[in-house]
Amino acid sequence: MLSEFLLAEMHRLGAQDALPLHRQLYEALRRAMLDGKLGPGERLPSSRDLAQDLNLSRNTVVAAINQLSVEGYLVSRVGSGTYVNDSVPRATPGRHPGLTGVRSPAPAPRMSARGQALATRFCATELEVQPFTPGIADFSAFPLTLWQRLQNKHWRMTYPDMLDYNSSGGYAPLRRAIADYLRVFRSVQLDADQVIVTTGTQQSLELCARLLADHGDTVWVEDPAYWGAVKAFMATGLDLHPVPVDDEGIRPSAADDAKPPRLIYLTPSHQYPSGAVMSLPRRHQLLSTARTHNAWVLEDDYDSEYRFSGPPISSLEGLDTDGRVLYMGTFSKVLYPGIKLGYLVVPKALVAAFRQAHYDLNRPGQMPLQAALAEFMEMGHFSSALRRARQTYGERRQCLLEALKPVLAPAGQEGPFISGAEQGLHLCLRLPAQTDDRALAQRIAQQGLTVRPLSAYCLARQDLKGLVIGYGYAPLSGIARGGPLLAAAVQQALKA
């Protein structure tokens, strides 16, 4: 009977989703029509009869019927009753396609090929550098109390326009503070108007890909590569062309020139993930190559704030005389990952186009948060927080380096060595080419430690093996305990 079906369906819906009664009845009646329990043109029992059979109030039944009528499932005929609309589709399970008057089951919708690739290839869950020691990430270097006070202040004094979208590229005082910081500390040549505030590096990359390249254009990426950039370019339909990285950074060859780029993406100050620093001659060579191909250069300066040894490394943008370098950075490494604020510095000729596209595509906002960050920087709190963070992360880095010493080959001899430890929040332990770094990373994971195999970041090359090890946000005590375990696991693997 219809009432039995409706009661069973309502009981299932109530237990599963805790829907109100009128919504349960609406869903049950809709399912009865789609499953053929109520066929096209069939008369529905009266609202009084349904209320009595289902032990519901008549108002509940009327509300469900009215909603189905509004959506076109039911039609009312004056003096006759309520009927199932003739146009309501019916499910026909078990029927054979091709029979007269019987519909073939529709194929299930599927993801696009690009969507499947985005969901399954080069995934952050397997490649994102995490603190290698287990437990909750430690953000004790960040002045949380001060930050909360600034945010509360700006929420209290927020004007209505601060709650709207922003079409100017970001909160003006924040853009000025970012420009002042980059001019002094990163040798970036810019005016505040060239700064676009974004939600981070991923949004900056997607904005560049959409505005500077067309579907199918070639983008040169470093090999090994940053997973986030790879995914951003895949999502925007670009053709990825991996270019090998050596100790001096990205190294294009004549074979690469045969695949001319529209974009060149790189991390010159601390290559992700190998840690290589691009030399000055290589920087000039790269800019010359970009000029030859009339390509845009995307400089990702993701962790330049943490330089632990050697002189600061100037930006590639500071060497650019053609206005072809777009420079991007993030506050997620200095403050905390979830702040989701970054910046993109674009050449002056692109400012208007990038502001308009950013507004149209991303509907940027978060003005109270940007205002709090602007004051945080203007009052010197950013510099103070950065100094404390450098000291804290420097101690963690040194503790990890000490733990790894027994693994390293003596100077002048072949064997494991460390690259990329001069800067950033991760380092790379390079291993002999015959090492199965993926299996080693899995064995280390069984001890509760998180490292990433270097080979997993490679797009085309087969010659790189190693472990990418994050020490940022990990408690010093955790590194002191986990470091020797990590070293012992590596030593055991090398002896096998």
Long-range contacts of 9-18 (CB under 8 A, 24+ apart): 10/54
Averaged over 387-391, what is the pLDDT?
90
Instruction: Identify whether the C-beta of residue 44 lies closer than 8 Å to the C-beta of residue 38.
Output: yes
Cβ count within 10 A of residue 486: 23
Share of the chain above pLDDT 70, in %: 95
The residues with which 470 forms a beta bridge, in sequence order, are 131, 426
Q: Following DSSP, what letter does each residue of 100-124 receive, concatenated?
A: TT-PPPPPPP---HHHHHHHHSS-H
Q: Write down all domains in the chain, each with its CATH number in brackets.
A: 2-84 (1.10.10.10), 119-127+138-384 (3.40.640.10), 387-495 (3.90.1150.10)
Give the model's confidence band at 91: pLDDT under 50 very low, under 70 low, under 90 confident, else very high.
low
Range of weakest confidence among 86-100, 308-322, 466-480 = 86-100
CA angle 137, 143, 144 (to 5 degrees): 70
Residue 449 Cα distances to 5, 122, 158, 369, 416, angstroms:
53, 21, 44, 35, 20
348 contacts 323 by C-beta, under 8 angstroms = yes
The predicted pLDDT at position 258 comes to: 94
pLDDT, mean of residues 202-229: 96
pLDDT at position 101 over 60: no
Angle at 485 (CA atoms; ends 481, 490), nearest 5 degrees: 150
- Residues 220 and 290: their CA atoms lie apart, in Å, by 10
CB-based burial label for 322 (10 Å; 0-12, 13-18, 19+): exposed
pLDDT on residue 94: 44
Torsion of CA 43, 48, 54, 55, to 10 degrees: 180
Give the three-state DSSP class for 431: coil
| 313: amino acid identity, one letter | I
Tokens, residue 187 = 């040798």
Q: What is the mean pLDDT of residues 405-414?
A: 87
Q: How far apart are CA 343 and CA 318, in angstroms?
A: 16
Closest CA to 467 of 433, 431, 443: 431
User: Is residue 172 a contact partner of residue 179, using CB atoms and an 8 Å limit?
Assistant: no
- Return the pLDDT at 100: 44
- What is the predicted pLDDT for the residue at 97? 41
Task: Give the span between the Cα atoms of 211 and 218, in whole angstroms.
Answer: 14
Among 10-19, 164-173, 284-293, 295-304, the range scoring the smallest mean pLDDT is 10-19
Is the pLDDT confidence value at 300 over 70? yes
Indicate whether 421 pLDDT > 60.
yes
Q: Is the pLDDT of residue 96 over 50?
A: no
The pLDDT of residue 181: 94
Residue 375 pLDDT: 95
The CA distance from 232 to 226, in Å, is: 10
The pLDDT of 267-274, averaged and rounded, is 95
DSSP single-letter state for residue 142: S
What the block records as the tokens of 108 is 């299930």
pLDDT of residue 103 exceeding 60, the answer is no
DSSP conformation class of 131: B
Name the token pair of 202: 């991923």
Lowest mean pLDDT among 50-59, 172-181, 316-325: 50-59
Q: What is the mean pLDDT of residues 185-192?
A: 91
- Please give the Cα distance from 301 to 315 (Å, whole number): 8
Question: In angstroms, rounded to a whole number, what is the distance separating the alpha carbons of residues 414 and 231?
Answer: 35
Averaged pLDDT of the chain: 89
What is the pLDDT confidence band of residue 313, given thresholds at 50, 70 and 90? confident
**70 C-beta neighbours (distance < 10 Å), count:** 9
pLDDT value of residue 381? 93
pLDDT, tens only, 455-488: 999 999 999 999 999 998 888 999 999 999 999 9
- Terminus-to-terminus CA distance in the chain, angstroms? 71
- What is the layout of strands, in order, in the sheet containing 417-419? 417-419, 426-430, 466-470, 452-453
107 versus 374: the higher-pLDDT residue is: 374
276 contacts 420 by C-beta, under 8 angstroms: yes
Across the range 81-106, mean pLDDT stands at 62
How much is the pLDDT for 95?
Answer: 44
Beta bridge partners of 240: 219
